[in-house]
Structure 1
């Protein structure tokens, strides 16, 4: 059965009345048109028009300029990605399908999902696929009071789960129904902060799962009197939230994991070592892509208390490093990229990681010695990660490998969006409309 036929059958089976045709913008925020089920086939085959204004807005819906997109004289034509169809069980007779925008029959290079797919295809040309999942942290907040849904900072205390039981049960009931196979949920050492893990997927399916996870959590929270915020650091006195990318490399030909080698140093294969070396070589440049909001850098500024990396380090099981490797045999060894903040876009994180790691593979990049002990120890003399979005963008613009891999159109689009945010933050501080923390809260708390 073809992709469209499977979706049409699901529409009938689940008595779906309407389907959200959903785009994901540079911030990871969804924008959708509701298409009635009786017109789904026509819109799927011939495309559905979509105003590209949706892709050039900041998180609060203000248009930014210099994106490189021609949005005034032409609409995009969007086509559904059939494997992303999901019945939204918490909605009445409503489903969702992700769409990809085209102009004159060509995919739009600025669109984050398109770019991630393209980079994964380049990795596939080397006979390698990416198997990955994101580990998400977020705050659950009472919508009326604006305070965390529970007040304890006692890490993983069972009593805290009792206070959040109703919402957690809702997640456990709904997330698997939209393709997110939850493995674990725990409370962290900040009030109302949760961490959720789920099963991995190959290719861009990992980022699809991450977007589905975040949008589902936020929607369920809204429907039940809460706000789920993936803003990286909503309160300066509490720890920041992260979105680790846990991944491994697999051989396309043999369909097996290729990061473990029991005979090698640290039990890591030469392919794995080159991959990690590539990520570390470009870590400073890709920080802008993985920590893409003004607010993200308050997480780095407060290392080590924020549990965030501060430099271009890697280690075996070492939580203080930017890259943590968990060695556990041929099938369970995992590379954990700890740079991304919770406010990141999973498609951009995936693309940036692949771009950097792929350079390590293509150039046979050697891996420096692992960091033992705390990577925060200044004695290691490791390159520091940027401490502001402005600084991070400057470094990004000097890395020709990453610029070339992600493409000039995407980079121009990304930088336009982020310069707009930096400019708005600076303007707010200069005119004393709000202080910096209040501006960040207004911009990101409800939206990201």
Structure 2
């Protein structure tokens, strides 16, 4: 087998067989190379795809139920994702796996399969989506006590950042050694970084990826998150993809640029031969406007995610659109007609990349099918306009569960599982008493 020869040539001792769960966390098994060569598929319990971020499992109800035996699923390797693990102490490789039942059916609520299903729906129409994610994250001091607020780390100057440093090269240079490791780790894994910039917040960074196939790009974001965390730990820092890690700092997003091309010709369906925008282009925007509120629980999957959505901040709070307008949820960047695309600025950085990309493309697909037309583009600032998105997780979950067109795309199994996980996570959150409650309620009520 070619993969086994690849492992032997590089002296790989262990293989990390991994799969993204509903939160985008890498689950799996570590196997000696010799055992992997004999049996590259692995088994894990069915409950792996119903685990909350806290490690709990939702209670059963009329729509959601556990496998009473918690039997095994089979995970098969996607050899196109084989790469070394550059931060491992001993030579190791990693390989993303896909889940199937024992009878061969794919696990339809597995995040990677959800995205593949959306891709198949485009393929049936002779279409191929192209995406390019942008991921924001914060570097912070190590913090082992969750009762204490996070703080920016100390850079090479010996001082933490205290002011806004958007696009500052000097602020990026504060962490040159860390970014050298990120670039080296990425190159070793075949991950392609387009640009790296300093964002608005203190020690807030953004990495932009090259455009390409949605599944490939979701794989890259999944691996990038691991890479950045590992590189930061090597430099005695944390890298966090929380949507709103610090109270007085901006939130972190995962913007998704998307376009659609004809599978046969490779031409964008968003532009005519003369370079004008097409009806499909406007319908794609319309689909986002209509359905983004209903997939908000995927794009903003935690209670913390909604803290990012603040009026008069850099985070959008509506589904308006505009040309090169960063105050709206849907931005159309400047560019040549063959690169015409829509930037969905609503997803937060804590979202599972497979599900976030699937949700955004699902909205566009429904728009193409329905053929609607969006509102007029916003020319000025939209930051003082009313909220057009759910304000909290439970409201967002309800909108998702009640949207039949999205249920048809994602499948009842995924919708019921995801809804149960989010409700369980919310109940866990409600058991925690916040500093705000102690500050304002303790002696005043």
Q: Is TM-score (shorter-chain normalized) higher than 0.5?
A: yes
Paired position in structure 1 for 2:226: 215
CA deviations over 1:63-104 (Å, ceiling 9, x no partner): 333354426341111101111111112222101001112222
State whether structure 2 residue 95 is matched by structure 1 residue 86.
Answer: no
CA distance in 2, matches of 1:218, 1:260: 39
Paired position in structure 2 for 1:134: 133
Does the aligned pair in 1 maintain the 2:320–2:375 contact within 8 Å? no
| Alpha-carbon distance change, 437 to 358 in structure 1, aligned in 2, over 3 angstroms | farther
Paired position in structure 2 for 1:119: 118
**Equivalent of 2:55 in 37, 50, 61:** 61
Paired position in structure 1 for 2:442: none
Does the aligned pair in 2 maintain the 1:87–1:95 contact within 8 Å? yes
> Cα distance, 1:260 vs. partner?
2.6
Paired position in structure 2 for 1:260: 271
| Alpha-carbon distance change, 148 to 329 in structure 1, aligned in 2, over 3 angstroms | same
State whether structure 2 residue 240 is matched by structure 1 residue 229.
Answer: yes
> Cα distance, 1:437 vs. partner?
9.8
Gap runs ≥5 in structure 1: 439-448
Paired position in structure 2 for 1:48: 42
> Where is the helix percentage greater, Structure 1 or Structure 2?
1
Does the aligned pair in 1 maintain the 2:49–2:109 contact within 8 Å? no
State whether structure 2 residue 25 is matched by structure 1 residue 29.
Answer: yes
Paired position in structure 2 for 1:443: none
CA distance in 2, matches of 1:192, 1:376: 25
> Cα distance, 1:263 vs. partner?
4.8
> Cα distance, 1:274 vs. partner?
1.2
State whether structure 2 residue 312 is matched by structure 1 residue 304.
Answer: yes
Does the aligned pair in 1 maintain the 2:45–2:70 contact within 8 Å? no
CA distance in 1, matches of 2:359, 2:330: 14
State whether structure 2 residue 261 is matched by structure 1 residue 250.
Answer: yes
Structure 1 segment 339-354 matched on structure 2, within 5 A? 339-354=346-361
Structure 1 segment 38-437 matched on structure 2, within 5 A? 38-44=34-40, 47-66=41-60, 68-70=65-67, 72-91=69-88, 92-104=90-102, 105-143=104-142, 146-149=150-153, 150-152=160-162, 153-261=164-272, 263=274, 267-300=276-309, 302-305=310-313, 307-378=314-385, 384-429=388-433, 434-435=434-435
CA distance in 1, matches of 2:323, 2:193: 26
Does the aligned pair in 1 maintain the 2:17–2:95 contact within 8 Å? yes
CA distance in 2, matches of 1:29, 1:411: 19
CA distance in 1, matches of 2:69, 2:175: 46
Does the aligned pair in 1 maintain the 2:87–2:230 contact within 8 Å? no
CA distance in 1, matches of 2:392, 2:37: 47
> Cα distance, 1:245 vs. partner?
0.6
Gap runs ≥5 in structure 2: 145-149, 154-159, 439-445
Does the aligned pair in 1 maintain the 2:53–2:425 contact within 8 Å? no
Q: Secondary structure at the match of 1:106?
A: coil
Normalized against structure 2, the TM-score is what? 0.90
Does the aligned pair in 1 maintain the 2:46–2:70 contact within 8 Å? no
Normalized against structure 1, the TM-score is what? 0.89
> Cα distance, 1:142 vs. partner?
2.2
CA distance in 1, matches of 2:335, 2:410: 32
| Alpha-carbon distance change, 374 to 213 in structure 1, aligned in 2, over 3 angstroms | same
Q: Secondary structure at the match of 1:107?
A: coil
Q: Secondary structure at the match of 2:431?
A: helix
CA distance in 2, matches of 1:257, 1:178: 30
